[in-house]
Amino acid sequence: MVATISELMAELKRQKVAPERLRDLRPAVEVELEQSAAYVSSGLADLDRISGGGWPVGALSELVVSTGGGAALLHAALRAAAARGESIVLIDPFQGLDPLAATAAGVSLDRLLWVRPAGTKSAARAVELLLRAGGFSLVVLDLQHLWKPPRRRARDLSTSVWLRLGRRARESKTVVLVFVSSPQVTAPVLSIQIDYALRWSGAIPRLKLRFVLRRGGRRD
């Protein structure tokens, strides 16, 4: 399912009801996380190990991907959430998702709501609306801006916006992943910097990922 921020707002206006009715746009299948679950798997065993269990539930997690490899991490997160039977939304203002590559990587697009707003501020607004509406276990905000003009960088979002999104994530008990290409998020519960490199072993290319983990604390 694909929707834009204007379509989400139009649906709310048409129905003339509280934002909770936005849940009608989500996939029909909904599985709630157990209240006792503090983490859900990232889909990558090494990442689960270094992060203490995977993605924290009810929190913002920042993934700083400065040298590539973001698609592989995104695909892993989407596959893991789909395997748990969860509903997923991807907020993608730069239209970085390649549906064919995602499908080839084993991602089930049937469980994915793909929202493509215009710009980072509209993207943040979409995240907040969806968190208020509820019904999604995983919300991914992809603000990687490699090859994008500097004026569209993720730092256009203010500290107050990040803090508000963090509060909404806690209230809705939702896993929120923010992909960026340089540190941007204020006060993420989990921040992981991923360095991606391609190594060759004979004629066979091998991928090497280096993770730098940071927990808690405020970043202004």
pLDDT tens for 59-78 read 999 998 876 668 888 999 99
What are the structure tokens assigned to 137, written together? 């276990």
Q: Does the structure show a pLDDT above 90 at 140?
A: yes
* Residue of higher predicted confidence among 111 and 58: 58
Strands (E) located in the chain = 2-3, 39-40, 55-56, 59-65, 88-91, 112-115, 138-142, 175-180, 190-201, 204-215
Beta-carbon contacts of 12 under 8 Å, excluding residues fewer than 6 positions away, are: 19, 21, 22, 129
Q: Where are the beta strands (DSSP E) in 88-203?
A: 88-91, 112-115, 138-142, 175-180, 190-201
Class in CATH terms, 2-27+37-215: alpha beta
- Please tell me the distance from the alpha carbon of residue 121 to that of residue 154, in angstroms, as a whole number: 9
For 218, phi then psi, to 5°, come to -105, 135
| pTM greater than the 0.75 cutoff | no
Residue 165, number of CB atoms within 10 A of its CB = 22
Q: Could you report the per-residue pLDDT of 92-113, keeping only the tens digit for each?
A: 999 888 899 889 988 888 889 9
How confident is the model over 133-146, as a mean pLDDT? 87
Q: Do 166 and 59 form a contact (C-beta atoms < 8 A)?
A: yes
pLDDT, tens digit (0-9, with 9 covering 90-100), for 162-215 = 999 999 999 999 999 999 988 888 888 888 887 665 555 555 445 455 555 566
- The SS3 of residue 209 is strand
% of the chain beyond a pLDDT of 90: 32
Question: Which stretches within 143-212 are classed as H helix?
Answer: 159-172
Report how far residue 15's alpha carbon sits from residue 114's, in angstroms, rounded to the nearest whole number. Answer: 21
pLDDT for res 111: 84
Q: What is the pLDDT of residue 45?
A: 87
Please state whether beta strands 190-201 and 204-215 pair in parallel, antiparallel, or not at all (unpaired).
antiparallel
